[in-house]
Structures are given as C-alpha cells and as structure tokens.
C-alpha cells in the first residue's frame, strides 16, 4: 500500500485526469465550432454531429469526475 491508502490511486488519478481533460476539451471545441458555424465533423450533418460530440464530451467529463470520486 502507498501513502494514499491503496495501490490503485496512481492509475485512478491518471485516468481521471485524462478523461476530464479530454471531455472538457471536446466540449470547448464543439462549442467553439457551433459558435463560429463551422463543421464539428466534416462530412456529417451539423446538428447530429454537434449533439453527439456534446454527449460524448459530457460523458468523458463525468467519467473523469467519477474516477476522482472513487479514489
């Protein structure tokens, strides 16, 4: 066991950080594309692409927060 109380703390912190950073970046990028009226995904319909990217961004953000809550 390490000083934090478990051997899984390091990987949980790393995974949580990656998920939070990716989810937040995806949400910011999607919002920026929608605001500028540029395509979120080239070759895809604009509204479904923005909705899908937003859903996945929020899911990754929540998954990262869940990882941090279980440390």
In total, how many domains does the chain have?
1
- Tens of pLDDT, residue by residue, the chain (71 residues): 445 556 678 888 999 999 999 999 999 999 999 999 999 999 999 999 999 999 999 999 999 999 999 88
Distance CA 40, CA 43 (A): 9
Does residue 37 belong to any structural domain of this protein? yes
Does residue 3 belong to any structural domain of this protein? no
* Prediction pTM value: 0.83
Distance CA 24, CA 22 (A): 6
Length of the chain: 71
56 φ/ψ angles, rounded to the nearest 5 degrees: -70, -35
Domain span including residue 23: 11-69
Contact indicator for 46, 40 with CB cutoff of 8 Å:
yes
């Amino acid at each position: 066991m390490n000083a934090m109380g478990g051997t899984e703390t390091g990987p949980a912190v790393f995974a949580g950080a990656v998920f939070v950073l990716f989810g937040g970046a995806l949400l910011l990028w999607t919002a920026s594309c929608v605001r500028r009226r540029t395509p979120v995904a080239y070759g895809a319909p604009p509204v479904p692409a923005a909705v899908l990217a937003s859903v996945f961004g929020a899911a990754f953000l929540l998954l990262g927060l869940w990882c941090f809550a279980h440390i």
